[in-house]
Amino acid sequence: MADITESPEWSALAEHQAVLAGRHLRELFADDPGRVGRMTVTAGDLRLDYSKHRVTAETLRLLVALAERAGLRGRIEAMFSGEHINVSEDRAVLHTALRLPPGEALTVDGQDVSADVHAVLDRMAEFAGRVRAGEWTGFTGKSITTVVNIGIGGSDLGPAMAYEALHDYADAGISCRFVSNIDPADIVGKLADLDPERTLFVVASKTFGTLETLTNAKVARRWLVERLGDDKAVSRHFVAVSTNAERVAEFGIDTANMFGFWDWVGGRYSFDGAIGLALMIAIGGEAFREMLAGFREIDEHFRAAPFEANMPVLMGLLGVWYTDFFGAQTRAVLPYSQRLARFPAYLQQLTMESNGKSVRADGAPVVAQTGEIFWGEPGTNGQHAFYQLLHQGTRLVPADFIGFAEPFEEPAVDGTAMHDLLTANLLAQTSALAFGKTAEEIAAEGTPAAVVPHKVMPGNRPTSTILVRKLTPKTLGSLVALYEHVVFVEGTIWGIDSFDQWGVELGKVMAMDLAPALTSDEPPGETPDPSTAALVRAYRELRGRRV
């Protein structure tokens, strides 16, 4: 199969970039007064202004042509209809089925996927409702006030991010905590002040074979049994979310208290299904379904909107544009919402585990650069830390700014609402990044000549601005679906399988091989390599063990 980089569309973009690279956003705006109107798209509740990107109408035409060349339209249909587009694992990729409206049929591989999804959602809602109403009680008959989700990766980041984003909607007096790391500091710290009688553990693991999760779950079980003094307490305080009923039963959790999903849901695409159980207990089944409606709105937009007005397609193509034609390495995601503090971390798994690949789906090496490095912090904190590099550094760092019009809190100081100050900062940053400040402007302010170069703000630094009325379950769902599809668009252009993650396996296996060497009384060997063997010896010595 010919590589996309050999296509005439790719070459046309490379030629176009050579011309555009010399042009400043100031000029692009001056040349095209209609730019902002044309480069603003809406999708459901999301509004995207992408006019501050280093693109013209011609760039967009060429990028859309590239998407056509990559067969994006057909790939989208293949995903939605359940073809096995995860080729290395021979699986369908159907996270979009997790938000199908009730009654909309979808049969894949002979299975009524829609019915399965709604059966689980209904069970989750029923269970969540009982916990919220205090009908599901702990072993001693007390109602549950804290849910501890034990999971890692996709079984942690999604629900943890969403709970933090939506905690204002937690209306039943139940809060959530998330334990993921195998560092004992995590679970020990999170259990320290908990009342075992009122704690429910959700052990979330797609495979139910993940070392961190099973280890933390065993620690939690021991903590509970020691405090409640009876093994039988486990069934009232532990439920599981998994695709693997056998292992759940082996662990000692009643499979009647297990909520399932399927191998066609990738871990990093899973919190809108059963992996969202802790979140659903906190915010309730109704709010959870509103979140699903937000996901669905973007799914429908992605499937139907022409590419020129298709938000995930445009954002994905812009990612390819900077990655492959400008040599950008990273993309900053800067939510101007404290509640979205974990959103960049969530996106890191979603995007980098999906698209951090160097072979194509057919096994041939990729030619283009793949896998943007996603990172970020909520504004305005980032402004006082790393924005210096964004404004004046030598690297090009495209950034997504995300803002909300309606706050949850309304304190005002000196007559100005804090939230308006927050938003003013967001807008100021994107404008400064795009348009900068010239040496002439700085000199005209009376700046000493020697200082002028230090103060020059080059501008021409591209940003997207996503503006939303309010952070709600629905708009959060839409934001997540947006980025899920951005990943898909980029992966399709690069011709990679965005749905496997073989690269994480080797380290896990080696850790299990190394663990005995750290604790053993036997002299440490020379494996797996001289450097690591020396570190094993050093660790044993520092830990007071035999070397």
Ligand X SMILES: O=P(O)(O)OC[C@H]1O[C@H](O)[C@H](O)[C@@H](O)[C@@H]1O
- Residue type (1 letter), 461: R
- Catalytic option among 353, 372, 377, 490: 353
Of 5-13, 204-212, 364-372, 472-480, the window that binds ligand X (rule: CB under 6 A) is 204-212
Site for ligand X in 219-278 (CB under 6 A): 267-268
Provide, rounded to whole angstroms, the least separation between the CB of residue 512 and ligand X.
13
Q: Which entry of 15, 232, 470, 508 is annotated as an active-site residue?
A: 508
Binding ligand X by CB under 6 A: which of 207, 425, 431, 520? 207
Question: Which residues are bridge partners to 417 per DSSP?
Answer: 412
**Residue 56 lies near ligand X (rule: CB under 6 A):** no
- Check if 83 is active-site: no
117 φ, ψ (degrees, to nearest 5): -60, -45
Q: State yes or no: is 372 an active-site residue.
A: no
With tokens 């909300």, the residue in question is: 404
Nearer to ligand X, 221 or 268 (CB): 268
Burial class of residue 519 in the structure, from the number of CB atoms within 10 Å of its CB (0-12 exposed, 13-18 middle, 19+ buried): exposed
| CB neighbourhood size of 6 (10 A) | 9
What sign does the CA torsion over 392, 395, 397, 398 have?
positive
Options 34-42, 123-131, 200-208, 295-303: segment touching ligand X (CB under 6 A): 200-208
**Is 384 assigned a catalytic role?**
yes
Q: How far is CA 469 from the centre of its chain?
A: 21
Q: Parallel, antiparallel, or unpaired for β 46-49 and 40-43?
A: antiparallel
Residue number, 51 or 213, with CB nearest to ligand X = 213
Binding mask 133-152 for ligand X (x = CB under 6 A): -------------------x
- Count CB neighbours of 175 within 10 A: 15
Per DSSP, the three-state class of 202 is strand
Binding test (CB under 6 A) with ligand X, winner from 44, 82, 138, 154? 154
E strand map for 107-237: 107-108, 111-112, 146-150, 175-179, 199-204
> Whole-number minimum distance, CB 155 to ligand X, in Å?
4
What does the per-residue mask of binding to ligand X show for 318-357, with x meaning CB under 6 A? -----------------------------------x----
Pick from 44, 82, 138, 153: which binds ligand X (CB under 6 A)? Answer: 153
Count of residues of this chain found to bind ligand X when the rule CB under 6 A is applied: 14
Q: Given candidates 59, 145, 146, 155, which one binds ligand X under the rule CB under 6 A?
A: 155
Beta strands 330-335; 373-375: pairing state: parallel
Give strand ranges (E) for 327-394.
Answer: 330-335, 373-375
The residue type found at 32 is D
**Dist. CA 83–CA 410, nearest whole Å:** 48
Which residues are identified as catalytic? 353, 384, 508
Q: Rule CB under 6 A: which residues touch ligand X?
A: 152-155, 205-207, 210, 213, 267-268, 353, 501, 504
